[in-house]
């Protein structure tokens, strides 16, 4: 099993710091997620139904009716490679580690290329290209036009482009979801999730967008009722709440700017890289900072190979104060050693 953020109980175990006293900034999940109301009793008592409004709400929100609901985008991530014959696939790395692991497990040959270098990915002459936008964990973001041009170029040579947009909801103008599986881009496949922007990671709801034949093949592998009735109900309401979405985008933008400014004094050669749901700090040796914060009950995400520490957003004034105090102590420690 690969390591993921959010393993707070494991971090707290044996630390001497009570679980309730920890600050978890390791996941990139919106700390002020969509406010889930009480659920009707019927959603617990009946099996999920495909005509309950979820698909319509999703099509309206994402601008694309060529979709399949998922028990989290992770489900499609793991099954997609099994729907294609083994071949070479280029990944713009570092990226969410489950992607390359799933393709390799299905017998595909993996080529990892620098994140953000889309032209190099296309020049690799592989039939398939995989990227995250914004990239997790670097926060690098590609323009919509560049991604669509890449899809068109791959399409001309019979290739496919897979895009994970798990963190894009706060900046929808960069999304290519609306074009996935279209007549112009039949080879474009996009994954979306309600876990990050909506803060509904526990509901395990996501979507895949693409051509109908691919969706049908994936649906056959998922089997009946892949998304629970309560999760479908919550997702439908959240996708319809445009007022909350607009407000959340503004609040996340402000919070990420504040976090980037807070981390800026720690930067060595490059400033912190930010997207609205997390900020990544590149350091020659990020582990000491990671361990220092952990000793103070703050869990962030360490990417040792990429030499990054990724910070999620604090969710309230007390959380901001805790992080600010810890970073001030770290700067004092560095100044005296």
Q: What is the tens place of the pLDDT at every residue in 7-62?
A: 888 888 878 899 999 999 999 999 999 999 999 999 999 999 989 999 999 999 99
Predicted pLDDT of residue 173: 97
pLDDT-derived band at 123 (thresholds 50, 70, 90) equals confident
Predicted pLDDT of residue 182: 98
Cα radius of gyration rounded to whole Å, the chain: 20
Rounded mean pLDDT of 227-239?
98
Q: What percent of the chain has pLDDT over 90?
A: 87
pLDDT-derived band at 122 (thresholds 50, 70, 90) equals confident
pLDDT, tens only, 300-335: 999 999 999 999 999 999 999 999 999 999 999 988
pLDDT-derived band at 170 (thresholds 50, 70, 90) equals very high
pLDDT, tens only, 272-306: 999 999 999 999 999 999 999 999 999 999 999 99
Residues in contact with 188: Cβ distance below 8 Å, sequence separation at least 6, in sequence order: 148, 151, 160, 161, 163, 176, 179, 180, 181, 182, 210
pLDDT-derived band at 5 (thresholds 50, 70, 90) equals low
Structure tokens at 207: 């979507």
Predicted pLDDT of residue 154: 95
pLDDT-derived band at 266 (thresholds 50, 70, 90) equals very high
Q: 3-state class of 291 per DSSP?
A: helix
Residues in contact with 103: Cβ distance below 8 Å, sequence separation at least 6, in sequence order: 81, 89, 91, 110, 130
* Statement: residue 245 has pLDDT above 80: yes
pLDDT, tens only, 187-212: 999 999 999 999 999 999 999 999 99
Query: How far is it, in rounded angstroms, from Cα 169 to Cα 171?
Result: 5
Domains within the chain, CATH numbers bracketed? 8-34+243-335 (3.90.1150.10), 46-240 (3.40.640.10)
Predicted pLDDT of residue 3: 65
On average, the pLDDT of the chain sits at: 94
pTM of the model: 0.95
Query: How far is it, in rounded angstroms, from Cα 333 to Cα 324?
Result: 14
Residues in contact with 239: Cβ distance below 8 Å, sequence separation at least 6, in sequence order: 54, 57, 58, 60, 61, 194
* DSSP secondary structure letter of residue 157: T
């Amino acid at each position: 099993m690969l390591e993921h953020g959010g393993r707070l109980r494991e971090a707290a175990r044996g630390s001497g710091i009570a679980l309730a006293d920890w600050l978890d900034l390791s996941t990139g999940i919106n700390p002020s997620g969509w406010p889930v109301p009480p659920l009707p009793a019927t959603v617990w008592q009946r099996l999920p139904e495909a005509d309950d409004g979820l698909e319509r709400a999703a099509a309206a929100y994402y601008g694309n009716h060529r979709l399949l609901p998922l028990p989290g985008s992770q489900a499609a991530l793991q099954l997609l490679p099994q729907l294609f014959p083994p071949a070479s696939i280029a990944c713009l790395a570092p990226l969410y580690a489950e992607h390359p692991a799933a393709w390799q497990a299905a017998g595909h040959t993996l080529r990892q290329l620098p994140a953000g270098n889309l032209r190099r990915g296309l020049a690799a002459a592989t039939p398939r290209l995989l990227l995250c936008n914004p990239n997790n964990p670097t926060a690098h973001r590609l323009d919509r036009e560049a991604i669509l041009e890449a899809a068109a170029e791959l399409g001309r040579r019979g290739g496919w482009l897979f895009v994970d947009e798990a963190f894009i909801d706060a900046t929808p103008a960069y999304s290519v979801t609306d074009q996935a599986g279209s007549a112009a881009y039949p080879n474009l496949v996009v994954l979306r999730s309600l876990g990050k922007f909506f803060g509904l990671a526990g509901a395990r709801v996501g979507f895949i967008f693409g051509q109908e034949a691919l969706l049908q093949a994936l649906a056959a592998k998922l089997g009946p009722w892949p998304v629970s009735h309560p999760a479908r109900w919550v997702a439908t309401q959240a996708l319809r709440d445009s007022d909350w979405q607009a407000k959340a985008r503004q609040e996340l933008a402000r919070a990420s700017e504040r976090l980037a400014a807070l981390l800026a004094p720690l930067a060595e050669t490059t400033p912190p890289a930010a997207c609205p749901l997390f900020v990544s700090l590149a350091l020659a040796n990020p582990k000491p900072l990671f361990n220092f914060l952990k000793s103070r009950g703050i869990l962030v995400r360490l990417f040792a190979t990429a030499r990054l520490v990724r910070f999620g957003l604090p969710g309230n004034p007390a959380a901001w104060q805790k992080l600010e105090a810890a970073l001030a102590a770290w700067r004092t420690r560095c100044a005296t050693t």
